[in-house]
């Protein structure tokens, strides 16, 4: 299918148990002008065969088989081969309601990024709105980087392919690769970001997914490296970014790092050294630091205790709230 309106990219790995649900939900869309790219990431089960079976039945589907390299490398294959005017990402263990792609019917002229919410399906199959915008609106980039609007989930965006250009997911990261990709793409937009009250994406519970995998010290470092990569990218490409945006990103990544740090059981000096070195590099590039990162250089255990207490209080709060 040449020149479709949107390319939907689905990385596939060990997905035979839920792949049909995902693909069927995409094929059931009321908006028909799309292509579906199924990227078989060297899956050892029958996922590749299932993909090929769908491609034989629907000309809108193209299948790519590759050696296993992770979700980022699979998405990058999709980006390299996408023909659509727009790009969307769907994970193979998730599914979408039939109005998901219909958002494109209401896109404002000149818009390069569409952002929407999603629902979560719990282990008992119940649904709840996890992230949503009550009212559609256009938001300039400098106002978009707030807790109210920004999301680190690539599945909650449609990107104009022209905006993505040569930007790709960082295949060296196992964590925060979505966040790095999203921010690097967003930094190039010259138009307002369109927020829509679409919550047709269903993010499902999968105990084996990266989201539900126990955090490791390597995940913590990846969070810092992703931000360092973004700052280096800004500097290399001479991108003009407001101080408020850098500040938001700094707090977003550094707080995330310390929160994950408090969730890890192991502690070793080599990890702390690498983390401190990375934060020092970030501080020098961004010309910014915060109180917690300064304390981390002096007494790392204080930050560990602070965020551990904070996390426990949050857990207690939500238990009481229920």
- Which residue shows structure tokens 């629902």? 119
pLDDT of residue 213: 55
pLDDT of residue 24: 98
pLDDT of residue 321: 62
Averaged pLDDT, 201-228: 78
pLDDT beyond 60 at 209: no
Instruction: Please provide the average confidence, as pLDDT, over all residues in the chain.
Output: 91
pLDDT beyond 90 at 216: no
Averaged pLDDT, 146-170: 96
Averaged pLDDT, 72-95: 97
Q: Which whole-number Å values give the CA distances from 1 to 34, 239, 284, in the listed order? A: 8, 36, 48
Torsion of CA 80, 81, 84, 90, to 10 degrees: -80
Confidence of residue 12 (pLDDT cuts 50, 70, 90): very high
Domains in the chain (CATH in brackets) are: 6-211 (3.90.550.10), 214-321 (no CATH)
Q: What is the CA radius of gyration of the chain?
A: 20
pLDDT of residue 122: 77
Q: Which residues contact 4 (CB under 8 A, 6 or more apart)?
A: 33, 34, 35, 60, 83, 84, 85
Q: Is the sign of the CA dihedral 22, 29, 130, 167 positive or negative?
A: positive
pLDDT of residue 188: 96
Strand 157-160 relative to strand 113-115, pairing: antiparallel
User: CA 68 to CA 178: how far, in whole Å?
Assistant: 19
- Window from 20-29, 108-117, 303-312 with minimum mean pLDDT: 303-312
pLDDT beyond 60 at 144: yes
What pTM was computed for the model?
0.92
With residue 115 as reference, give the H or E element that holds it. strand 113-115
Which among 139, 173, 128 has a CA at the least distance from the CA of 154?
173
Confidence of residue 263 (pLDDT cuts 50, 70, 90): confident
Averaged pLDDT, 194-221: 77
Percent of the chain with pLDDT over 70: 95
- Which residue shows structure tokens 């479709």? 4
94-103 burial by CB neighbour count: b if 16+ within 10 A, else e? bbbbeebbeb
Confidence of residue 18 (pLDDT cuts 50, 70, 90): very high
pLDDT of residue 242: 93
């Amino acid at each position: 299918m040449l020149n479709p309106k949107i390319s939907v990219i689905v990385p596939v790995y060990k997905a035979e148990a839920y792949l049909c649900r995902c693909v069927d939900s995409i094929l059931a869309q009321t908006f028909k002008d799309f292509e579906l790219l199924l990227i078989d990431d060297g899956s050892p089960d029958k996922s590749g065969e299932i993909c090929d079976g769908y491609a034989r039945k629907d000309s809108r589907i193209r299948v790519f088989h590759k050696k296993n390299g992770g979700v980022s490398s699979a998405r990058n294959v999709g980006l390299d081969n996408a023909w659509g005017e727009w790009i969307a990402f769907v994970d193979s263990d998730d599914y979408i309601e039939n109005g998901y792609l219909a958002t494109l019917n209401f896109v404002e002229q000149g818009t390069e990024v569409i952002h929407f919410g999603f629902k979560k399906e719990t282990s008992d199959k119940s649904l709840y709105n996890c992230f949503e915008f009550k009212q559609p609106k256009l938001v300039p980039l400098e106002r978009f980087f707030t807790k109210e609007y920004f999301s680190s989930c690539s599945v909650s965006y449609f990107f104009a392919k022209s905006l993505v250009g040569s930007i790709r997911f960082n295949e060296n990261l196992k964590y925060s690769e979505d966040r790095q990709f999203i921010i690097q793409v967003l930094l190039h937009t010259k138009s307002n970001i369109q927020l829509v009250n679409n919550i047709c994406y269903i993010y499902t519970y999968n105990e084996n997914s990266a989201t539900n995998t126990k955090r490791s010290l390597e995940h913590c470092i990846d969070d810092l490296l992703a931000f360092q990569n973004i700052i280096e990218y800004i500097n290399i490409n001479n991108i003009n970014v407001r101080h408020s945006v850098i500040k938001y990103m700094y707090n977003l990544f550094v707080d995330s790092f310390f929160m994950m740090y408090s969730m890890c059981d192991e502690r070793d000096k080599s990890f702390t050294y690498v983390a401190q070195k990375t934060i020092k590099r970030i501080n020098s590039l961004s010309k910014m630091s915060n109180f917690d990162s300064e304390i981390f250089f002096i007494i790392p255990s204080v930050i560990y205790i602070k965020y551990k207490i904070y996390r426990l209080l949050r857990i207690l709060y939500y238990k009481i709230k229920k």
